[in-house]
Structure 1
Amino acid sequence: MQDDKSSRKRKRKSKIGSSADPSCNDASIICDKRKKVVKKVELPASSTVVATNSLKQSKSNAFLDKMRAKLSGGHFRMINERLYTCTGDEALSYFKEDPSLFNVYHTGYQEQMFHWPEQPVNIIIKWLKSRKTSLVVADFGCGDAILAKNVKNKVFSIDLVAKDPSVIACDMSNTPLDSSSIDVSVFCLSLMGTNFPNYIQEAYRVLKPSGWLLIAEVKSRFDPNNGGADPDRFVNAVSQLGFTLISKDFSNKMFILLYFKRKVPLPDLEEKQSSKGKQIEWPELKPCLYKRR
Structure 2
Amino acid sequence: MRAKLTSARFRHINETLYTTPSNSSLELFATQPEMYTEYHLGFRQQVSVWPSNPVDTFIHTLRDRSKIKFQKGYSRALNSTAVQPLPRDRDTGICTVADLGCGDAKIAATFNHGKGLKEKIKVLSFDLQASTPDVTIADVANLPLPKESVDVVIFCLALMGTNFLQFVDEAHRILKWRGELWVAEIKSRFNRKASAADGNSNAVGRKKGTEDAEDGDEPEMEGGEKRGVPKVYMNFVDALKKRGFTLKGAVDGQNKMFVRMEFVKQPPEAGGKEDEEMEGRAAMGRRMPKKPKFIEEDLKEDMIMKPCVYKL
Using the size of structure 1 for normalisation, the TM-score is 0.70
User: 2:159, 2:183 → 1: CA distance?
Assistant: 9
Q: Which moved more, 1:81-90 or 1:129-138?
A: 129-138
Q: Does 2:168 align with 1:150?
A: no
Deviation at 1:225, TM superposition (A): 4.4
User: 1:80, 1:266 → 2: CA distance?
Assistant: 37
User: 1:147, 1:226 → 2: CA distance?
Assistant: 36
Q: SS of the residue aligned with 1:101?
A: helix
Q: In the alignment, which residue of structure 2 is the partner of 1:96? A: 30
Q: In the alignment, which residue of structure 1 is the partner of 2:99? A: 139
Q: Which has the higher contact order (CA 8 A, sep 6+)?
A: 2
Pair 187,120 (structure 1): closer, same or farther in 2 beyond 3 Å:
same
Letter in structure 2 aligned against 1:124: F
Q: SS of the residue aligned with 1:224?
A: coil
Q: SS of the residue aligned with 2:125?
A: strand
Q: In the alignment, which residue of structure 2 is the partner of 1:166? A: 134
Q: Over residues 22-74 of structure 1, what are the superposed CA-to-partner deviations in whole Å (9 max), with x where a residue is unaligned? A: xxxxxxxxxxxxxxxxxxxxxxxxxxxxxxxxxxxxxxxxxxxx2x2222221
5 Å-filtered alignment, 1:120-269, equals 120-132=54-66, 134-151=94-111, 152=116, 153-227=121-195, 230-247=232-249, 248-265=251-268
Structure (1/2) with the larger helix percentage = 1
User: 1:75, 1:281 → 2: CA distance?
Assistant: 32
User: 2:296, 2:126 → 1: CA distance?
Assistant: 23
Q: In the alignment, which residue of structure 1 is the partner of 2:15? A: 81
Give the root-mean-square deviation of aligned CA atoms: 2.5
User: 2:190, 2:20 → 1: CA distance?
Assistant: 19
Deviation at 1:238, TM superposition (A): 0.4
User: 1:226, 1:87 → 2: CA distance?
Assistant: 26
1:240–1:280 Cα contact (<8 Å) kept: no
User: 1:200, 1:230 → 2: CA distance?
Assistant: 19
Q: SS of the residue aligned with 2:23?
A: helix
Q: Which moved more, 1:283-292 or 1:89-98?
A: 283-292
Letter in structure 1 aligned against 2:108: A
Q: In the alignment, which residue of structure 2 is the partner of 1:107? A: 41
Deviation at 1:131, TM superposition (A): 2.2
> Structure 2: where are the runs of 5+ without partners?
67-92, 196-200, 202-230, 273-294
Pair 205,73 (structure 1): closer, same or farther in 2 beyond 3 Å:
same
Which structure has the larger Rg? Answer: 1
Deviation at 1:166, TM superposition (A): 1.7
Deviation at 1:281, TM superposition (A): 3.0
Letter in structure 1 aligned against 2:306: K
Q: Over residues 240-274 of structure 1, what are the superposed CA-to-partner deviations in whole Å (9 max), with x where a residue is unaligned? A: 100110131011101000100000236967xxxxx
User: 2:311, 2:39 → 1: CA distance?
Assistant: 15
Deviation at 1:278, TM superposition (A): 11
User: 1:208, 1:149 → 2: CA distance?
Assistant: 24
Number of residue pairs aligned between Structure 1 and Structure 2: 220
Pair 244,73 (structure 1): closer, same or farther in 2 beyond 3 Å:
same
User: 2:143, 2:137 → 1: CA distance?
Assistant: 9
Pair 219,208 (structure 1): closer, same or farther in 2 beyond 3 Å:
same
Pair 226,169 (structure 1): closer, same or farther in 2 beyond 3 Å:
farther
User: 2:136, 2:25 → 1: CA distance?
Assistant: 15
Q: SS of the residue aligned with 1:116?
A: coil
> Structure 1: where are the runs of 5+ without partners?
1-65, 270-276
1:83–1:192 Cα contact (<8 Å) kept: yes
User: 1:102, 1:114 → 2: CA distance?
Assistant: 18
